[in-house]
Amino acid sequence: MVVPAVGLRGEGSLFDPAALRISAYRSWLIGGVAGAVALILLGWFLLIRPQLNEAADFRERTASAEDGIAGLRRRLAEVRAENANLDSYRTAYTSARKALPTSGNVTTFLRDTQSAATLAGTTMKSITVGTPSALADGAVYGLPITVSTEGPASALDTFVHRLQRVQPRTVLVKTLSLTSAEETPVMSGRIALTIELQAFVAPGAATASESTAN
């Protein structure tokens, strides 16, 4: 059997230059595509993905900051509203401090009591101030005071009202004693009134106020 010889060169040959060029082109094409895909993947993991993560973190931080700013704005609005009522707060604080002072402030109380008696139409006879004593919690002290005054029943009633409701100091009336201020035992004219009451002092409030101011 005779096998025809195959030429080493020429069309149809295993070493056909055109076929070799096509094969090489295909190899380069496949390699180029694979390299491009690898480059894209490498760029995604090394460049694009970190940037996307950073952008997501930035958006999250921005949202958190916006929430914080919104909270600060709400608080600022509340502070402005409170500042608008600052005068009323100061007035209320001043009234409360007069009602419960940080010291005995006996001189002021005596003056207010004398004024209440004069305006009510009674005659002040005496005011006796005792020694303060600590109450149950130890933060507030009770100051015993005895007030003696004379006048008609209606005037004495007005005096007691002014003592409890008008003058700024908070007092607790413990006992009331009525006797006739005239020779007759019938209490139809001038009546002598003796009141045992207790005023209050909060010395610890002064220290707290100073600490807050500092």
Question: Is 7 among the domain residues?
Answer: no
Q: Once rounded to an integer, what is the mean pLDDT over residues 16-28?
A: 63
Give the residue with greater pLDDT, 7 vs 94.
Answer: 94
> Residue 86's domain spans which residues?
22-99
**How many domains does the chain divide into?**
2
Same domain, yes or no: 113 and 179: yes
pLDDT at res. 9: 47
In sequence order, the 6+-apart residues with CB closer than 8 A to the CB of 42 are none
Question: Is 11 among the domain residues?
Answer: no
Same domain, yes or no: 112 and 132: yes
Structure tokens at 85: 């009522």
Structure tokens at 80: 């402005």
Question: Is 8 among the domain residues?
Answer: no
Domain boundary among 61, 78, 99: 99
Same domain, yes or no: 69 and 127: no
pLDDT-derived band at 209, boundaries 50, 70, 90: very low
Tell me the C-alpha distance between 129 and 169, whole Å. 14
Q: Is the pTM of this model over 0.85?
A: no
Question: Is 17 among the domain residues?
Answer: no
Same domain, yes or no: 156 and 121: yes
The CATH number given to whatever domain includes residue 153 is 3.30.70.60
Structure tokens at 96: 């409360």
Tell me the C-alpha distance between 144 and 129, whole Å. 6
Same domain, yes or no: 108 and 169: yes
Same domain, yes or no: 131 and 73: no
Domain boundary among 48, 66, 99: 99
DSSP SS3 for 196:
strand
pLDDT one-digit tens code per residue, 140-188: 899 999 999 999 999 999 999 999 888 888 889 999 998 887 765 556 6
Domain boundary among 83, 99, 115: 99
For the chain, helix (H) and strand (E) counts, in that order, are 6, 5
pLDDT at res. 18: 63
Same domain, yes or no: 186 and 112: yes
Question: Is 137 among the domain residues?
Answer: yes
Scan for tokens 């509203």, then name that residue. 81
Tell me the C-alpha distance between 124 and 147, whole Å. 8
